[in-house]
Structure 1
Amino acid sequence: MKLFQCQCCGQILYFENTVCLKCGSMLGYLPDEDRMIAVAPDGPVWNALPGTHGMNAAVPDPGPLRFCRNWERSACNWMHRSAEGDGTGTAGYCLACQHNRTVPDLSTPDHVALWTRIEAAKRRLVYSVLRLNLPRPLPDSGHPEPLVFDFLADDPGSPDPVLTGHSDGVITIALIEADDAAREERRSQMGEAYRTLLGHFRHEVGHYYWDILVRDNPAALEAYRTLFGDERADYAEAMQRHYESGAPEGWENRFVSAYATMHPWEDWAETWAHYLHMVDTLETAGALGLRVDAGSTLAAHVESDPYRTPTAAELIATWVPLTLALNSLNRSMGQTDLYPFSLPADVQTKLRFVHDLVSHCGETEPKTTSPV
């Protein structure tokens, strides 16, 4: 994630900021220009304030803007250019929130705070999707497989909990996953090294992009099966075997996580998620000017845009020393490793496959105002 700058006072801004802490200006993120803008109200719309600092000072006025309808609940800080600020369907929602199909009952007080956390993670996911120029058909676009989000709370009258997952373009996130204590309990019970809301989004969207980028592409599908295995293997049997017997011995030499060993689809989704971990974290490190230099064996200089890095090898060469440094810093604070994974040769080959597929999508400049 990049850093931003207030055009009014030059203050450094972060992706989730809604108010500049230095000059007090209201802030909104405009995704089609990938910038944070200080704005002032003008009747039903908002106008960008005059720029005097930083790179935003010379950027043309974006014209009248509106905040996403979810901004009213402090659940979104994105803006849009829609002429209408209210209405039915997707009218009045930002580019990210137009992908929402279902949100939990917000008349329940506990739901609002949890849903807000889910929305924050979702915006980070959509940011990466936009930066990579991946297709993202909207629910009302007429596309046979739009990208859709359902955020669901458990039904008190049902014995069956909501399960986070993906099916036919619909990504379901269980509301309980936004409860830190509940999520940590599940992580511990399942013996996972890592479990976060953003990780869920990145994993599940990996399933979606397998359908979009691999399934109907004969060349990609053949290469996928060579690296990950045959996805036609019975999923229910694979899941039962995994939860009864666990990961096979020596899995660390071929897979990025134990869960990736369950089925070729899960291996793909886990690898995809780690690719998004890499590019977004490396962008953050570069924006902060982080440099890791510990002799000839440990060096990470993030000096280019990870979202536009030509090869996966370059990403990995920077990523590995950075994660070693970050893990060491966490240990110094008595915390668990930030990135408790390793990237053996087989995993690096899989990451290269993901990178090459994604790079084809990013060969043209992103057009974030387009519905697809």
Structure 2
Amino acid sequence: MPRARAAVWAAGLVATAALAVVRTRLARREIRRQRPAAPVDDVTVLVAVRSGDPLLPARLGEQARGLAPAQVLLLVDDDDPVGQDAARGAAAGRPGVRVVVCAPPEPGTNPKVHKLALAQADCRGVVVLLDDDTVLPPGALGRLVGGLEEADLATGIPVYLDGDGPWSRLLAGFVNSSALPTYLAQAALGPPVSVNGMVVAARRSDLERIGGLASLLDATCDDYALALAFRRHGLTIRQLAEPALLATTVADGAAYVRIMRRWLLFAQEVLRRDLSPRLVTLVLLPSVLPLAVTAAAVATGPLATAATVAVLAGQSHATRTLRREAGVPPERPGGLLVEVVALLLAPLHLLTAVLGPRHVRWRGRRVRVGVGDRAAGARA
């Protein structure tokens, strides 16, 4: 029995290391691809704003300073005075930035998409959807729009900036340990099945072709629903190695668990509808193997445990190197350990998402996770 257990552990460790090498090499190939920039004069950036995070005023201010000469519309709810104040502060003194106060959505409507759909008529030729906690590095907007030269929709890579407190850092560790190798490795082998909703660029004419953003009003997983709509209409999607820098406050462990559960419920929708050998190999296995191999290592012995920790640390180090190559700011000391812990916790969060209810608290409202009636069952 000990010999069989050791053989299982060894096989799992080899698979974990091999997948890490493959994903890193594929991601590096995408990072090194030329990313030409395009003018942004004909661009409208839509930002759906909702208060609740103390970082919001600073993030909106950074957005507004870095997006000129594009037009920026900060979309706020009429029942959110704190969000309105933050948006007006960001827009002050910037003629290209405008605050739009939106009426409340109908019941059963995605509150974020509701605001985006209301503003679509005021957009220029290219529309960029940007989350209110996300800032693009210098020149990134032009490179994102430049991606539309070879596709109908372009999206970037989420990268979390280290926040204050252990829970913010753990959330950043989860995203930063997986985003680049997961998104970019898939992109190296074929078009993505979904998009990163933190930042998306598309021509207004193509959005109108899919029925406009209003066609996504009943979708909670609006990023995946948007990708399904583009695929259904024969439009192409391009995943760029362009970082989108996120910063959020995670107050405590309960908030961290809620965010992780919501994200993995959204990811579960993609796996349920678009499971393929590519997703199994490059997404699912790298997510569950680290915890399984670590458990097998602990049962095998201290040498196996030490070897497993070394492999996981090497995997995280390779991912951190990818982020530097992509132009992401350096992390705080100790980030390597945080990322290894996040790798091990990910399967447990996925399990709670699979077994728990399908309702989540999101943007101040209780919603059921799904892609909406229009996107349900749609496949490219």
Relative to the length of structure 1, the TM-score reads 0.25
Higher helix fraction: Structure 1 or Structure 2? 2
RCO higher in structure (CA 8 A, sep ≥6): 2
Relative to the length of structure 2, the TM-score reads 0.25
